[in-house]
Amino acid sequence: MKKVCVIGAGSTNYGKAKESITELAVNAARDAIKSSNIEPKEIEYGLISNVFGVADKQVHLAPVIMTNLGIPHVPGLTIESACGSGSIAFREAYANVAAGFYDVVLAVGVEKVTHTGTTRSTTLFSYCSDFFYEGGCGVSFPGLFASMARAYITRYKASEEDLAMVAVKNHENGMLNPKAHVRKRISVDDVLNSPIVASPLKLLDCCPFSDGASAVIIASEEFAKKHGGEYIEVIGSGRGASPAALQNREDLTTIPSTRAAAMQAYKQANLTPKDIDFAEVHDCFTIAEIVDIEDLGFFEKGRGAAAVREGLTQLNSEISINPSGGLKSKGHPIGATGIGQIVEIYEQLLNKAGERQVKDANIGLSHNFGATGASCAVHIFRSV
């Protein structure tokens, strides 16, 4: 396999967007192309991650985006894997470059749903669950993650305050991110007193519905070296899967796809969780971040909530988790999220993250899953 690098990255603001889905994607792609200092015509392939293009009346996004970038003859493919679409599109781009099919690939993630309103967005998103057993029976994602939260709290004697502390930390980091959707400092009491969405999860335990787009340029190491700009290296890539419906899982306090994807990525990178300086993890609900940091091996099973309580996951502590603000504060435009995490890692490893810079960041990990973890990809990156 060839060595693979990320040579450019760009993102729109996350939040409620006025632009169309195509404009969002093209704006992020143009930013990534500009930061990589290549010409659009050097791109050989495009992977677009998106779930609900239909909500903005545009599917078959790849040719539309490529045409708007002035490269209508470059082939592209749209990838859907629910909230994990971005990292899975990145993985496909990685595999194509590693295998030698292409030297330069554009990966763009985009979503635009907020104009449909909370009720409609909740219904649309429920189509990403195992609809026969979950969405179709009236269980939306807050309800599914609430089941996981209840199981975790009961088994590990954690508290709703512990969950709230994840939100407080991620909002604190998001305050330092000018592109974040919800830039608001909050307290544990704010979280505990916010309206209940699906007990024990309250409004401030949930990520928002967001619009936005993120893009990266992936290239072979030969191209990156010859080209001469700044880049980071992809040193581990893993994929995992779990039964789609929660009822078919043996344990609600762990996500098997995360563990499988992480194990592959660590093995390929020849690293252990202790070697990771910071991670962007999938915190769609506060409970998810606690489960993630255990499944990724940063903390022992059952220790995640205590680690958050002890401040071990804050910016520049033992391991900086979600320096961008995470899905909770930065926002969760589902097709864009996994690519947006990699944009953050690119900026962190190139020392361009401004006020939220992780000190001495050398190795970063991204973790992004679809639905309640039915699909997952983990990537590990290092500065060169």
Ligand X SMILES: CC(C)(COP(=O)(O)OP(=O)(O)OC[C@H]1O[C@@H](n2cnc3c(N)ncnc32)[C@H](O)[C@@H]1OP(=O)(O)O)[C@@H](O)C(=O)NCCC(=O)NCCS
Tokens of 59: 């599917």
User: Identity (one letter) of the amino acid at 173?
Assistant: N
| Cβ-proximal residues to 132 (8 Å cutoff; 6+ apart), any chain | none
Listed in order, strand segments (DSSP E) in the chain are 4-11, 45-49, 76-79, 104-111, 196-198, 201-202, 212-220, 232-241, 278-280, 320-321, 363-370, 375-383
Give the residue with the Cβ less far from ligand X, 10 or 373: 373
Does 369 bind ligand X (CB under 6 A)? Our answer is no
Q: How far is the CB of 144 from ligand X (least distance, A)?
A: 8
Q: What letter does residue 134 receive in the DSSP assignment?
A: T
Which three-class secondary structure state does DSSP give residue 179?
A: coil
Site for ligand X in 183-212 (CB under 6 A): 197, 203-204, 206-209
Site for ligand X in 115-154 (CB under 6 A): 118, 122, 125, 141-142
Give the residue with the Cβ less far from ligand X, 208 or 364: 208
- Distance from C-alpha of 89 to C-alpha of 356, rounded to nearest angstrom: 27
Give the residue with the Cβ less far from ligand X, 36 or 254: 254
Strands 375-383 and 232-241: antiparallel
- Distance from C-alpha of 355 to C-alpha of 174, rounded to nearest angstrom: 10
Site for ligand X in 324-363 (CB under 6 A): 332
Contact map string, positions 103 to 122, toward ligand X, x by CB under 6 A: ---------------x---x
Q: How far is the CB of 118 from ligand X (least distance, A)?
A: 3
Q: How far is the CB of 82 from ligand X (least distance, A)?
A: 8
Angle between helices 21-36 and 61-68 (to 10 degrees): 50
**Which residues belong to the active site?**
83, 332
Tokens of 11: 């993102």
Give the residue with the Cβ less far from ligand X, 169 or 227: 169
Contact map string, positions 209 to 228, toward ligand X, x by CB under 6 A: x-------------------
Q: What letter does residue 13 receive in the DSSP assignment?
A: P
The answer to whether the beta carbons of residues 141 and 245 sit under 8 Å apart is: no
# residues contacting ligand X (CB under 6 A): 16
Q: How far is the CB of 148 from ligand X (least distance, A)?
A: 11
The answer to whether the beta carbons of residues 317 and 178 sit under 8 Å apart is: no
119 alpha carbon, distance to own chain's centre? 23
Q: How far is the CB of 112 from ligand X (least distance, A)?
A: 14
Q: What letter does residue 317 receive in the DSSP assignment?
A: S
Which one of 64, 79, 83, 165 is in contact with ligand X (CB under 6 A)? Answer: 83
Which three-class secondary structure state does DSSP give residue 350?
A: coil
Q: What letter does residue 200 receive in the DSSP assignment?
A: T
Q: How far is the CB of 83 from ligand X (least distance, A)?
A: 5
Q: How far is the CB of 273 from ligand X (least distance, A)?
A: 24
Q: What's the order of all strands across the beta sheet hosting 320-321?
A: 76-79, 45-49, 104-111, 212-220, 4-11, 232-241, 375-383, 363-370, 278-280, 320-321
Does 182 bind ligand X (CB under 6 A)? Our answer is yes
Contact map string, positions 289 to 328, toward ligand X, x by CB under 6 A: ----------------------------------------
Nearest-CB residue for ligand X: 118
**Nearest to residue 24, comparing CAs of 349, 331, 281, 326?**
331
Give the residue with the Cβ less far from ligand X, 284 or 349: 284
Give the residue with the Cβ less far from ligand X, 288 or 321: 288
Q: How far is the CB of 209 from ligand X (least distance, A)?
A: 5
Give the residue with the Cβ less far from ligand X, 28 or 284: 284
Does 159 bind ligand X (CB under 6 A)? Our answer is no
Give the residue with the Cβ less far from ligand X, 277 or 292: 292
Contacts with ligand X, residue ranges (CB under 6 A): 83, 118, 122, 125, 141-142, 182, 197, 203-204, 206-209, 284, 332
